[in-house]
Structure 1
Amino acid sequence: MRLRHIPGSEEEIAGSPYVVQNPSEKKGDWKEVFGNENPIEIEVGMGKGRFIMELAFLHPEINYVGIERYPSVLLRGLQKRAGLELDNIYFMCVDAINLGDIFEKGEVQKVYLNFSDPWPKDRHAKRRLTSEEFMAVYDTILTPEGVVEFKTDNKGLFEYSLESIPRAGWKIREHTFDLHRSEMGEGNVMTEYEEKFSSKGNPIYKLVAGRA
């Protein structure tokens, strides 16, 4: 699906107090960004931001960073953020492949991947956010106990992920082919896409991966 560009979105993002500008300069110093030593969790491909903003509201003891590479999409999240009284969430407009240049080893506790682009063509497999290449990136920023949580409605991408993640040296700790009818669904926070897909009766797939 072609994204509609919103004129002026880049300028608005550049001037927003909620967006970390030049994030690579913060590497190793994210505690100073938030002003505390709380654990950091990130969402790669946050879309309009409903998921991560709800998490930030529910868990003030955790710091959150929402990552979105498309300015026009991130702008929608900023518009939502402006009406919330939260001090534990920031955003970045970057490509996830560069996360190793932004966070130090062990600076991140958890990575959320929600309804990522499936990149269905085989030649684009490396672009999938659960590919071996991206799992190696997450490995460079997570704590030793850190985990990756992945949700999707795309069965093909999910089955690919069940194979690619172990190939990358990770262990799939738990998974389900029907999140909303499983024990893994307890306390689940939905994204905009998840609500849309599940309302049509589509199953939601989820897995949690760690190094051991």
Structure 2
Amino acid sequence: MRLRNKPWASEYIAEHPKYVIPNPQEQKGNWHKLFGNHHPIHIEVGTGKGQFIVEMAKRNPNINYIGIELYQSVIVSALQKLEEEKLPNLKLLNVNARDLTEIFAPSEVERVYLNFSDPWPKKRHEKRRLTHKSFLTIFENILVEGGEIHLKTDNQGLFEYSLKSFSEYGLLLTFVSLDLHNSDFEGNIMTEYEEKFSKKGQRIYRCEVKFR
């Protein structure tokens, strides 16, 4: 993915600590206090420009959402959407997914969304894939017992790799679609990438797994 540099992004993010939480490690174990309620917490790892998570937060006011995005030049687009919508149940974090155990306490999160993650197709980059066992260990640490991962991708190779990785880790597969947009699945919310790929006629893969 080629990122368009936005030199103003860092300053813009710093000006909106209400939405992009600074020093999120300080909230570990206390995210419910920040939201002001005890609603379930769902996170999207790689939230991109925010279309998916903003719409999820609008549709589900009784769930708290947190969008995780590494790149400042990308998360500012999500921030602009959130600033316009002013959703009380959505926060953003400009952090690396490898640091999630420093940000969330064990069993603090109920669901993880992985939408159109970078497939890192080269074998030498396998450990960078968000469905590699090293990331599954991180997710298992912060998720409640029986916590879920919901995955969507247009990349068949990543999908097949992920199913294998989930199986080897001992996760329970509860839903799978090899062609989401031609299935009877209801309530799908598309990401920006999903809209782009589906218009080209590309197949969208989706699955849900849970920790036993």
| Counterparts of 1:2 and 1:191, CA distance in 2 | 18
Cα deviation 1:7-64 (Å, max 9, x = unaligned): 0211211221211110111100001110111110000000000000000000000000
- Percent identity (aligned): 52
Q: SS in structure 2 opposite 1:83?
A: helix
Structure 2 Cα separation of the partners of residues 85 and 160 of structure 1: 38
Written as runs of structure 1 = structure 2, the 5 A alignment for 1:78-117 is 78-117=79-118
Q: Which amino acid aligns with 2:59?
A: L
Shift of 1:169: 2.4
Question: Is 1:39 aligned with 2:37?
Answer: no
- How many residues get paired? 211
Deviations along 1:59-105, one digit per CA (max 9) or x if unpaired, are 00000000100000001111111111311000000001111110011
Supply the AA of the counterpart residue of 2:33. E
Equivalent in the alignment of 1:191: 191
| Residue-by-residue CA offset, 1:172-201 (whole Å, 9 max, x unaligned) | 222111011223x21111111111111111
Report the residue type matching 2:211 in the other structure: R
Residues 55-70 of structure 1 aligned to structure 2 (within 5 Å): 55-70=56-71
CA distance in 2, matches of 1:168, 1:72: 34
CA–CA separation in structure 1 for the residues paired with 2:8 and 2:195: 29
Give the structure 1 partner of residue 54 of structure 2: 53
1:106: Cα distance to partner? 1.0
Letter paired with 1:138: F
Residue ranges of structure 2 left out of the alignment (5+ in a row): none
**Structure 1 residue 2: Cα displacement:** 2.4
In the other structure, the counterpart of 1:19 is 20
Equivalent-residue separation in structure 1 for 2:131 and 2:61 (angstroms): 28
Counterpart of 2:119 in structure 1 is: 118
Local SS of the residue matching 2:84? coil
Q: Equivalent residue of 1:52, what SS?
A: helix
Tell me which residue corresponds to 1:203: 203
Equivalent residue, structure 1, for 2:77: 76
Distance 2:5 2:164 in 1: 35
CA RMSD of aligned residues (A): 1.0
Structure-2 residue corresponding to 1:176: 177
Q: Distance in 1 between matches of 2:161 and 2:14?
A: 36
Alpha-carbon distance in structure 2 between the residues aligned to 1:2 and 1:79: 20
Could you list the structure 1 runs, at least 4 aligned residues long, displaced by more than 6 angstroms after superposition: none
> Which amino acid in 2 is paired with 1:48?
K
1:103-182 correspondence to structure 2 within 5 Å: 103-182=104-183
